[in-house]
Structure formats: C-alpha cells, structure tokens
Structure 1
Amino acid sequence: MSDAFVPHPDPAPRLAVAAIDPELIHNNVLGALAEDLGSGDVTADLLPAEQIGEARILTRESAIICGQAWVNACFQQLDGRVKLDWLVSEGAHASAGQVLCTVSGPMRAIVSAERSALNFLQTLSATATTTATYVNAIRHTRTRILDTRKTLPGLRHAQKYAVRIGGGMNHRMGLYDAILIKENHIAAAGSLSSAVGKARSLHPSILVEVEVETFSELREALAAGVDRIMLDEFELEELAQAVTETDGRTALEVSGGVGLDRVRAIAETGVDYISIGALTKHVRAIDLSMRVVLAGDSRHP
C-alpha cells in the first residue's frame, strides 16, 4: 500500500454487490469497544463532560477506503450525538494526506471511539487496497480474484466485504456453504469419484470443488461433473493445458503462493479464478490518523 498504487479509472463504489448485515457490524463494534474501554476511558475523563468539538480523519498514504459503516458505529455507539461527514465515498480512492471524514460532537465520545474506529478503517481499507491492486493487474483478462478463509478471527465477514469493495469475489464464507474436497478427503473416501458422489448425495444444492495435483485427477474430476476444480502446484504451461483440456466444462481455480509477480501470467493462461490468501492474511494496515481541530489552527485543511 504505497503511494505508487494507481486505482482503476472507474473506482465507483461497489455497495450493491458488497452489502453486509448491519447486525454483524454492530457485533464487531461492540466487541472492539468492550476490549478497548473496559470499565471506562480514564483519560477521556480529563475532558469536560459536555465539551463539543470536531476532529478529522485523514490518510497518510494512497488507499481504497473501506469500513465506513464500522467507523460510524464506533462513534455513535458511544454517543448518538456524534455526527460524521464523509468526504470520500466507500470504495473510492484517496490520496496521501487527504481528509477522509470530519467527526463532530461530544469530545469524550470522539476520543474514546477513535482507536477502535481507526482499527476497523485501517484494516478493511488495507484489504480493499490489496485486492484492488491484484484486480487491476489482471483486468485485461477474464480471470477473477477470490479470497480465502485465512482471515482475522471475528472479522471474516468484514474482510470478505472489503475484498468485494476492492473488486474481488468471495470464495466460500466458511465450511458450511461450499464443499472443497482435498487430498485427505479423497483418501478417506477411497477415491475422488466416491468423495464427489457422497458430496452430491448429502448436499445436492451446494457447490462442489475438488483440488487436483495431476492431469489424471483433473480428468477424473471432470468425469465426476464437479462445479469447480482447484489446480494445485501446476506450472504455467500445465495451467494452459488444463484450460485447453477442460474446454469450459467446469471452472478452474488456481490457489497457493500467488503474488503480484505471478498473478498476471497465471491469469493469462485462461483460468477462471485465482484465490489469494494474502488479501486478508498478509495485509499491512493503512496509515491513518485523527486530529482534533482547534479554533484558528491553520495546520488543518
């Protein structure tokens, strides 16, 4: 997430495809505030109880901004009188030094909610920014970027929302909404075909994906009629061959150790999806800050 990040020319917010249950946001925020405030903010006690003021949240680096609903909830959970005015839309690009939001209201609530609010914003903006970087790298292809389940505990829905804001797509949310058959499942079931057959009989309406390591397994998976095949440890030439052999009969996914140095070449083989754990696992938080605005202070734009 350096200032070298260049957004796609169409950075329009993707709220229609990135909606998230407000109750999930509420629960995230309650947990964050509880662990930070404990029995109460003893430093905020230094401020007059009815002092009203204003602060500004700004970014110190280029980023795709994500997480505004969590920020709003942090402040308003502490005091409903706090008002937020966002100057950058959710999912839009912000430049280093840009003011993202003004926050006005009771100062005790503003300073008490600051850290929790910024923690959400810096983490989710990091995920969205990282995702957008990968998406932009393969935009000339038809391949789509997927996330994985390698998320921060308690923030899976939030981070997967951020992936969507960044232009990516979600893989399965958990172990309950899709079947991914891997080597150990195949060994326990006796064969790939047996595992797929059992999956179809138990969960006929759920997507079934199989991870394969050889062309023999690829052909068996195709014969079994799976919904998606994950290609494990295939070289670029082998990926291209797999695309040719599959000929659109089922979707192909590449996963494992994909970085920006390889993602373009992998996408250009013609695979349908590339899943990348780094979108949610290796993110470095965006550098944000909040500054109280003092009357007559010319340092603030």
Structure 2
Amino acid sequence: MSPDPRSLEGTGLSEAWVDDLVERTLAEDLAGGAVLPGAPDLAVSCDVTSAATVPPAQLGTADLVARAGGVVAGLPVAARVFTRLAPGATLTAGAADGDRVARGDVLLTVRGPVRALLAAERSALNIASRASGIATATRAWADAVEGTGAVVLDTRKTTPGLRPLEKYAVRCGGGSNKRMGLYDVAMVKDNHVAAAGSVAAAVAAVRERAPRVPVQVEADTPAQAVEAVAAGADFLLLDNMTPAQLREVVGLVGGRAELEATGGLTLSVAREVAATGVDFLSVGALTHSSPILDLALDLRAG
C-alpha cells in the first residue's frame, strides 16, 4: 500500500495545528463560519462560481503540478485541504516534501467531487506554494555552503500564524531551525545588555532564572565576542561582521562557543562567509522574502 499523502509523520507538525491552519485558510475563501465540521456541502456551496457551473454529483481528477522547478514542501497540508472538503477523495502522491521537481511534474493527484476540488484549490495552492518557495530558497543556500561544515539557519522573521509550516519548509530545503520562539533560547542583544548593565550581568541573570536554557549573545566586534565568551555564552551571534572579522573571531574563541554569522548576508557571499569557519549562517530572508514556487491545479473531468 502506498503511503498516505496526508500523513504528517516526520514533519514535526502537529495534527491540531494543521487542522486549525486548514480551517483558517478555507475560511478566508468560504465565508468564515460556513466551514463547519460535518457540513462540507454548505462549505462548498459558498464557492458561488463552482456551485453555478458544476453539477453537484460530478466527479473529476485534478493534478497539483509544478509550473517551475524547485523543492517542494507542504504537500501533506495541501492534501488535507482537499480532504477537508471532500472526505472521500482519493489521493495519490507524485512527489514528497524535500524532493527537487521540474516544471510539469505532478506532485499530487486528487479524485473527488469537482465542486469540492475547485473550492479547495486556492487554499491548497497557497499553502504548498508558500512552503515550497521557502524550501527552494533554502536549498540554494544549503547548496552554496555544502562541504564547508556550516549550516544554514532561519530566524523568527516568519509570517504571523505560519511559523511551524515555514520552519518545516526550511528543513525540507536542507536548512535547520534556530529558536522556535522566545522560550527555547535566550538571545542577549544590545537592549538586554543596556537594561542589565553589562554582558556579564545579562548572562548571569539568564543563568540564574533559566538555568537549562542555552544562552546566545549578540556581538558586533571581535572584542565583544571575546567578552561574551568570557561571560559564559554558549553561542555567539556575529552581527554584520566582515569575513575578515569572522575569521578573527573564529581564531579567538572558536571551539569555546558556537558561532553564527548574520546580518546582510546574500547568496553571492554565502560560501565566503561559511569558509571563515563559523558554524552557522542565519538568514531571515528565507522566511520573510522567499518568492513562492509557482504551482497549479489542472482538472481532468470525468
């Protein structure tokens, strides 16, 4: 038996979160409160065009197709959009999240009531196109630093309400996640230092109140990096440093703290930065500026 294209196994996405995302996404198209459990006909009827042009009992098959090459992500979530409105639909996977695909490749095939497929079309495409665009951009960065030992990270610069999906898409593209929120890593930045009085005081305060949380300190110069390590930082966020400065920091504190380059990074300099010896490159643009991957739904009637 082929795997269920709706399965979230291995994605790190919770069933409850995905169900909520699907409901919220469909509600944007289907008059909000009309998307109710157990009332798929009511939901579909809110698609006035399909209700007017498609007979209620008409069945069809639709292919989710790549209109451009890239890396796909979010297919299980998109699949659940279709089965939310057409619970009896049959789905066949043509690709899996993380796959490289070419223009014209069929990523998912769905058979069910045509009204439901068309009502779900844009919501499914929005989710998969957004996630796949992030995965595609991340893969370009991961390819650029391949072999250097450095890892590409995302940041918290995500679309409100979509962070789990967008960070999952980064993983699909070969990157890794930094902190998921404000709770899992203590990030001591300049404003925290100003409030606490010094880097050492800020780190000590975190250690006292959250002893199990890793501590990262932002540094703008090699001297600040040395100070942060002396204060007990586990990680350093090396902000807007030149490759020469990054190499200097690696020589001064490498091995005593993990080093993350950030700020103004572009794909054209990714390999040069990675070659300085830093452990990570964090790139906010992965989630805040990646263009979507162009996907479409092609209906085959009958």
**TM-score normalised to structure 2 length:** 0.90
Deviation at 1:16, TM superposition (A): 7.6
Question: How do 1:20-99 and structure 2 match up within 5 A?
Answer: 20-38=13-31, 39=34, 40-46=46-52, 47-99=54-106
Matched, 1:151 2:144: no
What code does the residue aligned with 2:70 have? A
What code does the residue aligned with 1:142 have? G
Deviation at 1:34, TM superposition (A): 0.6
Question: For the residues of structure 2 that align with 1:17 and 1:220, how far apart are their CA atoms?
Answer: 40
Question: How do 1:1-301 and structure 2 match up within 5 A?
Answer: 18-38=11-31, 39=34, 40-46=46-52, 47-294=54-301
Question: For the residues of structure 2 that align with 1:17 and 1:98, how far apart are their CA atoms?
Answer: 23
What code does the residue aligned with 1:228 have? F
What code does the residue aligned with 2:12 have? A
Deviation at 1:220, TM superposition (A): 1.3
Question: For the residues of structure 1 that align with 2:57 and 2:148, how far apart are their CA atoms?
Answer: 56
Paired residues of 1:17 and 1:164 also in contact (CA < 8 A): no
Question: For the residues of structure 2 that align with 1:103 and 1:17, how far apart are their CA atoms?
Answer: 22
Aligned residues: 281
What code does the residue aligned with 1:27 have? D
What code does the residue aligned with 2:189 have? K
Deviation at 1:17, TM superposition (A): 6.2
Deviation at 1:19, TM superposition (A): 2.3
Tell me the secondary structure at the aligned position of residue 175 of structure 2.
Answer: coil
Paired residues of 1:25 and 1:69 also in contact (CA < 8 A): no
**Which runs of 5 or more residues in structure 1 are unaligned?**
1-14, 296-301
Question: For the residues of structure 2 that align with 1:147 and 1:279, how far apart are their CA atoms?
Answer: 6
Paired residues of 1:71 and 1:121 also in contact (CA < 8 A): yes
Question: For the residues of structure 2 that align with 1:153 and 1:223, how far apart are their CA atoms?
Answer: 36
Task: Tell me the percent identity.
Answer: 40
Task: Give me the CA root mean square deviation.
Answer: 1.3
CA deviation vs aligned residue, 1:7-57 (integer Å, no higher than 9, x gap): xxxxxxxx9864221211111111000111114211121211111111111
List structure 1 segments (4+ residues) > 3 angstroms apart after TM superposition: 15-18
Tell me the secondary structure at the aligned position of residue 35 of structure 1.
Answer: helix
Question: For the residues of structure 2 that align with 1:183 and 1:122, how far apart are their CA atoms?
Answer: 37
Question: For the residues of structure 1 that align with 2:78 and 2:180, how far apart are their CA atoms?
Answer: 23
Paired residues of 1:231 and 1:252 also in contact (CA < 8 A): yes
Deviation at 1:134, TM superposition (A): 0.2
**Which runs of 5 or more residues in structure 2 are unaligned?**
1-7, 35-45
Question: For the residues of structure 2 that align with 1:96 and 1:43, how far apart are their CA atoms?
Answer: 29
Tell me which residue corresponds to 1:3: none
Tell me the secondary structure at the aligned position of residue 48 of structure 2.
Answer: coil
CA deviation vs aligned residue, 1:172-224 (integer Å, no higher than 9, x gap): 11112211011111011000000000011111111110001122211111111
Question: For the residues of structure 2 that align with 1:247 and 1:41, how far apart are their CA atoms?
Answer: 59
**TM-score normalised to structure 1 length:** 0.91
Distance 1:16 1:145, change over 3 A: farther
Paired residues of 2:240 and 2:264 also in contact (CA < 8 A): no
Deviation at 1:227, TM superposition (A): 1.0
Paired residues of 2:222 and 2:248 also in contact (CA < 8 A): no
- Higher mean alpha-carbon deviation, 265-274 vs 227-236, is at 227-236
Tell me the secondary structure at the aligned position of residue 293 of structure 1.
Answer: strand
